[in-house]
Amino acid sequence: MLTPAVLRDNVPFLPPIRNTDKLLQSREKLGGRISQTSKVRPQSRGRETESSSPMEDDSKKYSLTKDEVALFRNCHKQSVCVDMLRQGYHRSFSELLALLHRWNATRDASERGSDIWEQQPLEEQDHKLDQLCHFLTRAEAAQRADLYEEVYEHQVSLARYFVEPEDKWLSHHFYESSLVTARKVKTDRGRKEAEANSNMGHVCTERGQLETARAHYEAFHHLTEGQAWRDEAGQALHSQACECLWRIHTLLADRMLENKDYRPAIETLTKAFQMAREGGDKAVEGKAAYRVGLAYQSAGDHETAERYLNLYMDISTVLGDDESLGTAYKAIAKSLESEGKLGESIELLEKFVEVSQDESLKHNLEEACMCLGVFFCSRGQYDKGCQHFERAYEIAQHLNSVAVLQKAQVYLGTARACMMMSAYSSHVAEARNVDSCKLVVWKETRNDMFNQADAEKTIDDGEDSRVP
Partner 1 sequence: MSANINPLANPKGANKVCELCEKPAYIQCTKCFVTFYCGKEHQDDDWVAIHQKVCQLLIPVRTPVPYYTLEAEREQHYTQILDRQKLLMEISQRVAEKKLFEKRHKESLPAALLSLHSAMDIYGTSGVQLVPAYLLLAEANIGLANLSPAEQYLSWADWTVVRTPDCGRTVRHKLHRCMGRLFIVKGDLEGALFHLANDIYYASEQYGQDSIVTCGGYYLMADVFFRQRKMDIVNSLYTEVANTWHSHLSRLLEKHIENTITPEESFDEAQQAEADQMLRSLLDVPDGGPKQQPAQSAALAHSLGILWLLDGDPEKALEFGRRALGYCQMVQDCWLTDPICRLLHLAEEGLDAAQKGSPDSPPCPSAPPEHQRSALLS
How far apart are alpha carbons 185 and 315 in whole angstroms? 41
- Smallest separation, CB 180 to partner 1 (Å): 17
How far apart are alpha carbons 374 and 377 in whole angstroms? 5
- Smallest separation, CB 54 to partner 1 (Å): 10
Taking the least distance from each CB to partner 1, the nearer of 78 and 338 is 78
- Of 34, 64, 81, 396, which lies in the binding site for partner 1, with binding defined by CB under 8 A? 81
Q: Which amino acid is at 140?
A: E
- Smallest separation, CB 269 to partner 1 (Å): 42
Site string for partner 1, 88-117 (x = CB under 8 A): x-xx-xx--xx-------------------
Please report which helix (H) or strand (E) contains residue 207, including its range: helix 191-207
How far apart are alpha carbons 192 and 186 in whole angstroms? 9
> Residue 362: how many CA atoms within 13 Å on its side-chain side?
14
| 431 near partner 1, judged by CB under 8 A | no
Beta bridge partners of 230: 236
| 1 near partner 1, judged by CB under 8 A | yes
Taking the least distance from each CB to partner 1, the nearer of 105 and 319 is 105
Stretch that binds partner 1, among 64-72, 155-163, 196-204, 213-221 (CB under 8 A): 64-72
Give the footprint of partner 1 on residues 137-196 (CB under 8 A).
144-145
Residues 6+ apart with CB under 8 A from 392: 366, 369, 370, 373, 408, 411, 412
| 60 near partner 1, judged by CB under 8 A | no
Stretch that binds partner 1, among 56-64, 84-92, 239-247, 367-375 (CB under 8 A): 84-92
How far apart are alpha carbons 115 and 428 in whole angstroms? 68
Q: Tell me, by CB under 8 A, how many residues bind partner 1.
A: 33
| 51 near partner 1, judged by CB under 8 A | yes
Taking the least distance from each CB to partner 1, the nearer of 7 and 109 is 7
Asked if 132 and 100 touch (Cβ cutoff 8 Å), the reply is no
Taking the least distance from each CB to partner 1, the nearer of 143 and 274 is 143
What is the DSSP-derived secondary structure letter of residue 120? Answer: P
Stretch that binds partner 1, among 66-74, 188-196, 244-252, 450-458 (CB under 8 A): 66-74
| 6 near partner 1, judged by CB under 8 A | yes
How much is the CA Rg of the chain, to the nearest whole Å? 38
- Of 23, 37, 38, 82, which lies in the binding site for partner 1, with binding defined by CB under 8 A? 82
The alpha carbon of 161 is separated from its chain's Cα centroid by a whole number of angstroms, namely: 19
Distances (CA, A) of 45 to 57, 134, 140, 158, 318: 18, 13, 21, 22, 64
Alpha-helical runs (H) found in 74-124? 76-86, 90-109, 115-118
How far apart are alpha carbons 328 and 348 in whole angstroms? 9
Taking the least distance from each CB to partner 1, the nearer of 24 and 98 is 98
| 16 near partner 1, judged by CB under 8 A | no
Stretch that binds partner 1, among 81-89, 169-177, 316-324, 418-426 (CB under 8 A): 81-89
Taking the least distance from each CB to partner 1, the nearer of 51 and 119 is 51
- Of 7, 402, 431, 455, which lies in the binding site for partner 1, with binding defined by CB under 8 A? 7
How far apart are alpha carbons 154 and 401 in whole angstroms? 49
Asked if 65 and 52 touch (Cβ cutoff 8 Å), the reply is yes
Stretch that binds partner 1, among 36-44, 86-94, 350-358, 408-416 (CB under 8 A): 86-94
- Smallest separation, CB 7 to partner 1 (Å): 6
Asked if 229 and 191 touch (Cβ cutoff 8 Å), the reply is yes
Beta bridge partners of 236: 230
- Smallest separation, CB 162 to partner 1 (Å): 22
Residues that bind partner 1 (CB under 8 A): 1-9, 11, 13-14, 51, 66-67, 70, 73, 78, 81-86, 88, 90-91, 93-94, 97-98, 144-145
